[in-house]
Amino acid sequence: MSSSYLIIVTLAMAGVTFITRALPVLIPKKLLDTPWLHRLNESLPLSVMVLLILTSLSYKDISTNTSVHSGELQLLMAQIGALLLVLFIYHISRQLLVSMIAGIAAINGLLWVFSNLFG
């Protein structure tokens, strides 16, 4: 990669970041007070978090029953359990940080439990 390419990419990222930050100021207040935008604002954090977690699930080659793939199955089960816990805690508390910390603790705890039970 050339230095000019890196400069152009950096400027493009800075421009996109600036536009997304400046857009709420540029949009008229009348449009920002619509009910559908408020509903979107309430549901978007959970939706984004679920999409990020679902795309990070590792579910490749778990269809075979060999012992080599049992670690991958344990990881998938731990990820799904942590995902359910994160969704439950976020639904109750509406606190992203609390639910993320609980999810990190849950995945590590479930991996430890599964490795002791099945490993």
Tell me the three state secondary structure of residue 61.
coil
**Per-residue pLDDT reduced to its tens digit, 15-72:** 999 998 898 888 888 887 888 888 888 888 778 877 877 777 666 655 555 555 567 7
Q: Which two tokens stand for residue 41?
A: 């604002």
Amino acid at 13: M
| 119 has pLDDT over 80 | no
* pLDDT tier, 8 (very low <50, low <70, confident <90, very high otherwise): very high
Only one residue has tokens 């559908």, namely 36
* pTM, to two decimals: 0.53
- Count other C-beta atoms under 10 Å from residue 79's C-beta: 21
Give the tens place of pLDDT for each residue, 72-118: 778 888 888 888 898 899 889 988 889 889 989 998 999 889 888 87
d(CA 116, CA 119): 5
